[in-house]
Chain A
């Protein structure tokens, strides 16, 4: 069974489009995250949800909007895509918010043309 899954795995789109990435975890965890990994492999947190409540919102453009319909799902919607949004987006989950192992999904490689 896949612990943390993301769809799609690859996303190629034109500038200005709107796209969504979906994430699901079957680990029963309370906390979920979105990370962005750029071309230099820098892994940076974007958002974190605990029990469907937003608890971390880093300095991310408001074109990015996360949504957590329930504890097991965290989606990321991106409006008006820009070239600089090209990156690998990882979803992760952990049992608690603090000092806990984070389990990462396989990643979504977003390419904006």
Chain B
């Protein structure tokens, strides 16, 4: 049930763009994106619900392809502050009772260099 994230790691220069992908083998109700900096707690970025929506947050946006059970996080014109590990968390569509939970991928380590 754990979603698969790719790539595992990416190194950018400031100003470059990146895409992080998250895919599931199960039908999803929602996809959540979090960023965790070294030694800190994960911080919420955005939630995408089934229905195939796209969201934006400054220069970070995401899409959710319901048919493919895939979500992508787009980081545009990256800044040094974007460095960290990005996690997607997925919530299954057929969840009830104990299935109300987020299952996180293994994370994508993003490094932005000057």
Which residues of A approach B to under 8 Å, CB–CB? 40-45, 48, 55-58, 90, 97-107
| Set B44, B85, B97, B98: member contacting A102, Cβ < 8 A | B44
Of chain A, the residue at the smallest CB distance from B95 is: A98
Which residues of B approach A to under 8 Å, CB–CB? 29-30, 32, 36, 40-44, 47, 49, 85, 87, 91, 95, 97-98, 100-104, 106-107
A41 to B40, CA, bound (A): 12
Contacts A41-B85, A56-B98; is A99 near B42 (CB within 8 Å)?
A: no
15 contacts between A and B (CB under 8 A): A41-B106, A42-B107, A43-B42, A43-B87, A43-B104, A44-B104, A45-B101, A45-B102, A55-B98, A56-B98, A57-B98, A90-B41, A102-B32, A102-B44, A106-B41
Min Cβ gap A33→B in Å is 8
In the complex, number of A-B residue pairs with CB atoms less than 8 Å apart: 54
A44 to B87, CA, bound (A): 12
Tell me the interface secondary structure of chain A in the complex.
loop
B residues less than 8 Å from A48 (CB atoms): 100-101
A57 to B99, CA, bound (A): 10
B residues less than 8 Å from A42 (CB atoms): 104, 106-107
A residues less than 8 Å from B36 (CB atoms): 41
Min Cβ gap B9→A in Å is 11
- In the complex, the answer to whether A104 meets B102 with C-beta atoms within 8 Å is no
Min Cβ gap B10→A in Å is 15
